[in-house]
Structures are given as structure tokens and as C-alpha cells.
Amino acid sequence: MLEFENLSAAELLSWAISAYGGDFAIATSFQKEGMAIVDLACRAAGPAGCRVFTLDTGRLPEETYQMMEVVRERYGISVETVAPLREEVEQMVAAQGPNLFYRSPELRALCCEVRKVRPFHRKLGELKAWAAGLRREQSEARAGVRKAEEVDGRMRLCPLADWTSEQLDQYIRENAVPVHPLYARGYTSIGCAPCTRAVAEGEDQRAGRWWWEQETTKECGIHFAPNGTVKRGA
């Protein structure tokens, strides 16, 4: 897949839309990266050629639901929401309580598995390729992310893998891309409401995710294996 490394984000998205059509979709939680990808894809193909989906875990901040409507109004895209199975959530909460994730990394991983990872993989069953907002600069764990590679039998694209924070902010500013309201309140990474907070000056970009955990990989399990490495194809 090395031939994709020299493509720009716009070129990579244009290729994916042309190659996969409706079997390609953008996964986003409406953070800056995801919104930039949506904007780039719509410029390449128009709203009719751009599928967007998000995980509705049942614990999202209200501002994230607002962003779904912003995407609908700005780009003319009906965001596809993917929810966990009700019976799985009910069983987990009955056994461990609603805020189990605060008690141990293992229980936090269970919550992410039920609310995010399993629904995500069910959605991938509809697709042949998908795009994510991973950037190498975001964390040490993400430093090895490739722009394109096969993962779990499908093509995963990370069009912004080589973008810096400065490049991302410049693109958003120059193209008036909508920004999630929580950034204005000091958030640098946005997930479920109970598991995300604003960061202090000088903290790592992902310091606000699961901040009560020490010496753990700050990832939910969608993109990373249990040992903290990026999931790869065979």
C-alpha cells in the first residue's frame, strides 16, 4: 500500500469514492479530523457520493448530537447512527452498574467493547472501505498509522495521517469547516461524556480521555489491539 502514502488527503478520498462508491464511508465522532475529512470528501464527490456514520454509544455529550445536525444542514448528509445492542448494554449495566468504567481499565474496556467496538464492526459488515481521522502526531501509539491498509478484510484509509495540528487548523479555518463546540471549552479529544474532559495547558492531546487511568493506552479498541499497537491486516 506504499503507493498511497504519496497521495494527498483529497486525492486519497477521491480514489476511494471512485473505487468503492457506496461501499465506502467516513467514520467520525465530529472531531476536527473527521469534519475535515467530510469536507474534503464532499468537495470531491458532493453529498450524494459521501456516506458518513457515527457511533451513538448512548453516553455522548449533547454537543455531539448538535454536530450531527450541523453536518446535515451544511453538507446535506444524513448521518448514519450506529447503536449498541440494547440487550448487551442492559446486561452489562445490570451486572456492573452504569459507570463501571471508573472502577478498572478492564471494565472500561468492556464498556468500550459493548458500546463502540461491536457496533462498529457490525457496521463495517456493510462496507468494503472506510476512512478514519487518525493522525500520526496525535500520540506515540498512532505514530505508525498508514494512509491506507487492509484491516479485518477491509480497506482502512487515514487521509490525514501525515497532517500536523497546524495543517488541520489551517484547513478548517480556510474552508470554514464546522467545529465541535467542546473545543472552545478546552477539549482536544472528544468521546463519551463521562470519559472525556478538557485538558490543561501543556497536557497531551489525548490526556482528557479516561484521565483517571494510569499507564494505560488511551484507546477504545476500534483501531488498536489490546497490546496498544495499531491493528494491521494479515
- Which positions are catalytic? 220
Bin 123: left if φ > 0, else alpha if -120 < ψ < 50, else beta.
alpha
Which three cell numbers, joined as nine digits, stand for 85? Answer: 445492542
Residues linked to residue 154 through DSSP beta bridges, in sequence order: 151
User: Quick one: which of 137, 117, 131, 165 has its CA closest to 25?
Assistant: 131
- Please give the angle made by the CA atoms of 172, 173 and 176, to the nearest 5 degrees: 75
Q: How far apart are CA 182 and CA 185, in angstroms?
A: 5
Containing 25, the helix (H) or strand (E) segment is strand 24-27
| C-beta neighbour count of 73 within 10 angstroms | 10
Q: Is the dihedral of CA 160, 164, 168, 170 positive or negative?
A: negative
Strand, helix or coil for residue 49: helix
